[in-house]
């Protein structure tokens, strides 16, 4: 049986593209007892509230028609954000050379949070250029990788 996120991605991707956006990610998560279906979209120059609305309405209609999710859920469409999470190989490929923050499940060299320039991504392993040199983190140790935004 296909995962909910895969079914929703197949429904939502062409609609997002028709509206001039790309579908960055789909999440189906339970938070505080409530299920959330979240679509994250992107486009050159950034995403506006109008873009979110333009994608939300037809995707909501398509979801109502296809009815791929049993039970109730809250549906949200938002920008992937400047500090977006990198999850898929294509995400990492698009941002090689960008500054990222790597969060680990357990400390490596006394730290769980690392910031550096993304050098490589291979089968889940992440390599960054840190101040002390290149560091590679094994897939099993990486909790999250997101773009790092300096303020």
Cα angle at 92 between 37 and 13, to 5 degrees? 40
Q: What is the pLDDT of residues 15-47, one digit of tens each?
A: 999 999 999 999 999 999 999 999 999 999 999
Instruction: Give Cα separations from 66 to 72, 77, 126 (angstroms).
Output: 14, 18, 37
Q: Write out the E strands in the chain.
A: 22-31, 34-42, 74-79, 99-108, 111-122, 125-130, 133-137, 142-147
Domains of the chain: 4-79 (3.30.300.70), 89-147 (2.30.30.180)
pLDDT band per the 50, 70, 90 thresholds, residue 151: confident
pLDDT per residue as tens digits for the range 53-106: 999 999 999 999 999 998 999 999 999 999 999 999 999 999 999 999 999 999
């Amino acid at each position: 049986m296909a995962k909910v996120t895969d079914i929703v991605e197949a429904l939502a991707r062409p609609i997002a593209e028709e509206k001039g956006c790309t579908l960055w990610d789909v999440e189906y998560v339970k938070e505080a007892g409530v299920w959330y279906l979240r679509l994250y979209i992107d486009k050159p120059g950034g995403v506006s509230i109008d873009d979110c609305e333009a994608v939300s309405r037809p995707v909501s209609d398509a979801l109502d028609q296809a009815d791929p999710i049993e039970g109730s859920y809250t549906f949200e469409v938002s920008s992937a954000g400047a500090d977006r999470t990198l999850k898929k190989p294509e995400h990492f490929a698009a941002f090689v050379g960008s500054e990222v923050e790597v969060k680990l499940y357990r400390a490596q060299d006394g730290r769980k949070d690392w910031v550096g320039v993304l050098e490589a991504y291979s089968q889940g392993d992440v390599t960054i250029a840190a101040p002390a040199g290149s560091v590679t983190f094994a897939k099993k140790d990486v909790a999250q990788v997101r773009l790092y935004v300096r303020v």
